[in-house]
């Protein structure tokens, strides 16, 4: 990881450490940036007694949590740092006295200037993937945890960040042929559902609403594996496509149960099982937390292949950035 990223993370973490009390950690963003926050909330839910919540930015502005104040930490994110809702949510949080941390690819962006502690991250074209948004956020979270309540597990997690470039690239290569098969076999599908739970629900949600709906104009919905049997399983049929993600964390049972039922009735299941990931020599008790961001990288490869076979580049939009909305 680049020194600039480590320095920015350290500055934010020291500010958190200096606080006498933290009553809540809020994650605030929109779209894919909001989905990025979900695995981070999962880690905090599992490892910390401090409550954490993910908000879509405009709702955070219009139904501002009553607890938001001097004892709060607000972490926001926008790739270009120009998402109006996220900028306003960060401004509001700072006005209320919260400690504000913002992640952006663009240094000096409006979001960057709005937060007290901005953190830069690289984007997909950068060669070292340890500097990408998901790894930067994981680094921030484990450094926060270690500062609040020192633990050797968090030390190991921080060190594991340096292995992520190798892990990401190994799994991109490992799943390259499956990604091509997916693009070839599903290029004409009108609807594709994604299903996951735990830390993996975030990347599944991002794949559904950003990569499929926004970038490919394919109807989709992210189904939580725990909610599958409470309504969504009624749409399961032999010709209905599902991408099912099985995690390595404590909610894996939910994924296995949903998969066991779904495969009885659908002939179009693409399974991504995190237990098959090449995690190198990462410690077992950390794999579940880091597998979730590997899922996002693997799914990106599936989206790239789908775009290629559909002849529809991921950069094409009908409305976004093209008109007032």
pLDDT digits (tens, 9 = 90+) for 52-95: 999 999 999 999 999 999 999 999 999 999 999 999 999 999 99
Residue 278 CA to residue 167 CA, distance in Å, equals 7
**227 or 132, higher pLDDT:** 227
Report pLDDT for 197. Answer: 98
Whole-prediction pTM value? Answer: 0.95
Residue 83 CA to residue 321 CA, distance in Å, equals 11
Tally Cβ neighbours within 10 Å of residue 135: 25
**20 or 303, higher pLDDT:** 303
Residue 156 has pLDDT above 80, yes or no: yes
Report pLDDT for 132. Answer: 83
Residue-wise pLDDT for 225-280, tens only, equals: 999 999 999 999 999 999 999 999 999 999 999 999 999 999 999 999 999 999 99
Report pLDDT for 131. Answer: 79
Strand order in the sheet with 191-196: 219-224, 191-196, 242-246, 269-273
Q: What is the mean pLDDT of residues 294-311?
A: 97
Name the nearest CA neighbour of 81 among 72, 73, 89: 89
CATH number of 3-150: 3.40.50.10490
Per the prediction, the chain carries an average pLDDT of 95
Residue 112 has pLDDT above 80, yes or no: yes
Q: What is the mean pLDDT of residues 114-119?
A: 98
Strand order in the sheet with 117-120: 52-56, 24-29, 72-78, 99-104, 117-120
What is the phi/psi pair of residue 243, to 5°? -105, 120
pLDDT band at 222 (very low <50, low <70, confident <90, very high): very high
Q: What is the mean pLDDT of residues 41-55?
A: 97
pLDDT band at 306 (very low <50, low <70, confident <90, very high): very high
Which CATH architecture is the domain 165-310 placed in? 3-Layer(aba) Sandwich (3.40)
What is the percent of the chain with per-residue pLDDT over 90, rounded to a whole number? 92
Report pLDDT for 129. Answer: 75
Residue 124 has pLDDT above 90, yes or no: no
Report pLDDT for 126. Answer: 57
Residues of the chain with CATH 3.40.50.10490: 3-150, 165-310
Q: State the distance between the two ends of the chain, measured CA to CA, in whole angstroms.
A: 37
């Amino acid at each position: 990881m680049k020194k600039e990223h480590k320095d920015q993370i350290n500055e934010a973490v020291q500010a958190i450490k200096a606080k006498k009390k933290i009553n809540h950690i809020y994650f605030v963003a929109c779209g894919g940036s909001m989905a990025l926050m979900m695995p981070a909330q999962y880690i905090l839910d599992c490892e910390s007694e401090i409550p954490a919540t993910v908000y879509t930015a405009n709702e955070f502005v219009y139904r501002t949590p009553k607890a938001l104040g001097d004892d709060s930490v607000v972490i926001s994110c926008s790739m270009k740092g120009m998402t109006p809702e996220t900028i306003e949510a960060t401004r509001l949080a700072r006005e209320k006295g919260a400690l504000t941390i913002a992640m952006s690819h663009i240094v000096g962006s409006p979001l960057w200037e709005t937060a007290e502690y901005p953190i830069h991250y690289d984007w997909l074209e950068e060669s070292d993937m340890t500097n990408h948004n998901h790894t930067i956020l994981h680094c921030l979270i484990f450094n926060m945890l270690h500062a609040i309540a020192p633990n050797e597990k968090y030390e190991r997690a921080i060190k594991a960040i340096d292995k992520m470039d190798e892990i990401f690239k190994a799994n991109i290569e490992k799943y390259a042929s499956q990604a091509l098969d997916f693009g070839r076999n599903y290029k004409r599908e009108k609807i594709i559902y994604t299903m996951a739970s735990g830390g993996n629900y975030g990347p599944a949600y991002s794949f559904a609403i950003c990569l499929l709906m926004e970038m490919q104009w394919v109807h989709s919905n992210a189904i939580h594996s725990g909610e599958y049997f409470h309504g969504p399983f009624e749409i399961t049929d032999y010709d209905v496509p599902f991408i099912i993600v099985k995690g390595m964390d404590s909610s894996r049972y939910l994924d296995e149960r949903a998969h066991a039922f779904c495969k009885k009735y659908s002939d179009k299941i693409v399974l991504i099982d995190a237990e098959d990931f090449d995690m190198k020599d990462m410690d077992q008790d950390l794999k579940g937390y880091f597998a979730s961001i590997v899922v996002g990288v693997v799914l990106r490869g599936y989206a790239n292949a789908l775009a290629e076979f559909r002849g529809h580049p991921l950069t094409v939009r009908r409305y976004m950035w093209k008109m007032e909305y």
